Amino acid sequence: MIFVVTLKVMSLPSDLADMGTAPLVAAFGEAKARRDWRWIKGAYKNGTFASVILGIPFAAALGLAAKPLILIWAGPSAVPDSYLILRLFIYIAACVSLVMVGQLLCGIERVEPLVLCNVLCPLGCVGFGVVFAHWWGLSGVAFAMALSVLVTLFPISLYQVRRFFRAVSAAGSGA
Q: For position 102, what pLDDT does the model report?
A: 95
Q: What is the pLDDT of residue 175?
A: 46
Q: In three state form, how does the secondary structure of the chain look? A: CHHHHHHHHHCHHHHHHHHHHCCHHHHHHHHHHHCCHHHHHHHHHHHHHHHHHHHHHHHHHHHHHHHHHHHHHHCHHHCCCHHHHHHHHHHHHHHHHHHHHHHHHHHCCCCHHHHHHHHHHHHHHHHHHHHHHHHHCHHHHHHHHHHHHHHHHHHHHHHHHHHHHHHHHHCCCCC
What is the structure's pLDDT at 170? 84
pLDDT of 86? 97
pLDDT at 169: 87
Q: Where do the domains of the chain lie?
A: 2-170
What local confidence, expressed as pLDDT, does residue 171 receive?
78
Q: Which residues of the chain have pLDDT under 70?
A: 173-175
